[in-house]
């Protein structure tokens, strides 16, 4: 029996998940077909019921459904509760279980591709949505000494700080003098906003005039395009830069292991993702 898997989202025309996940299934000789499931909100319930059928392995979940799927899950991994979002669903004998692989994917990319150990370091996080929540949980668990949050809508950053409930977390007013000072001193800056993403946001940047600390690392979670305006301007300002593709592949590899119980062929997945981005 051919099994099915896929990614749930609202607009997936720029998603490459189907490319590298299918490459992983094919590399291991698994009879699985990975689909891009674009769903309107009113279709989500029926689709979640479909994921409980015997031929379904599960699904990835992307914007805007990482929170919306939570009521349909029979079981949630503790990390899902901590982050407040699920990006991976596994069909466990007809019951749906939710996982969050964004945290592990981000930390692996940060350490292996960014050559940055966040323990006892400060970090500035831009954004307060689902991706920002995963990054914040990851950085706090990895031992940052201080996590600064900034979002265009201050109330969302305040709500995230309250949810994290950690004395190491502080909120900065967007583009305030204190924000500029922190940006110029932080060894790690993470963009978890959609600014720069392929499509209507591609020309945007959250930092119109960036000033970075010497040797600082700028991580842009945007995976498509490979280089965003923010990354280009950060490099010109003297920062090291890391795009979102490694995190995308690593979180996908974690999902693959949840579905199959097998080690993911990460090299195959990354090569397929990079080819898709160049095409």
Catalytic residue set: 66
Say how many CA atoms lie within 13 Å of 236 toward its Cβ: 10
Long-range contacts (CB closer than 8 Å, 24 or more residues apart) made by 69-77: 69/8, 69/44, 69/98, 70/98, 72/44, 72/45, 72/48, 72/96, 73/97, 73/98
Coil, helix or strand at residue 125: strand
CA angle 8, 157, 88 (to 5 degrees): 20
CA dihedral 64, 79, 248, 166 (to 10 degrees): 90
Compute the distance between CA of residue 277 and CA of residue 83 in angstroms, rounded to an integer.
29
Whole-angstrom distance, CA of residue 134 vs CA of residue 74:
21
How long is the chain?
279
């Amino acid at each position: 029996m051919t099994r099915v898997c896929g990614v749930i989202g609202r607009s997936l025309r720029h998603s490459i998940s189907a490319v590298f996940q299918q490459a992983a299934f094919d590399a291991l000789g698994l009879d699985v077909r990975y689909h891009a499931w674009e769903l309107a909100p009113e279709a989500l319930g029926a689709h979640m019921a479909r994921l409980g059928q015997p031929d379904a392995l599960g699904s990835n979940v992307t914007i805007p459904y990482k929170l919306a799927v939570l009521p349909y899950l029979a079981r949630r991994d503790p990390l899902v509760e901590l982050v407040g979002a699920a990006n991976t669903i596994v069909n466990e004998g007809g019951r749906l279980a939710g996982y969050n692989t964004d945290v592990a994917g981000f930390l692996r990319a940060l350490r292996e591709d960014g050559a940055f150990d966040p323990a006892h370091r400060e970090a500035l996080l831009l954004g307060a949505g689902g991706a920002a929540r995963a990054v914040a949980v990851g950085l706090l668990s990895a031992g940052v000494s201080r996590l600064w949050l900034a979002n265009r809508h201050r109330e969302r950053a305040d709500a995230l700080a309250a949810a994290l409930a950690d004395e190491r977390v502080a909120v900065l007013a967007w583009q305030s003098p204190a924000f500029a000072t922190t940006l110029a001193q932080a060894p790690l800056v993470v963009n978890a906003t959609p600014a720069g993403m392929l499509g209507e946001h591609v020309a945007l940047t959250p930092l119109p005039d960036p000033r970075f600390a010497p040797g600082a690392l700028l991580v842009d979670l945007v995976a498509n395009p490979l280089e965003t305006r923010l990354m280009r301007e950060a490099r010109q300002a003297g920062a090291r830069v890391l795009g979102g593709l490694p995190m995308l592949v690593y979180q996908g590899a974690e999902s693959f292991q949840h579905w199959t119980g097998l080690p993911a062929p990460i090299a195959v997945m990354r090569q397929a993702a990079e080819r898709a981005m160049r095409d």
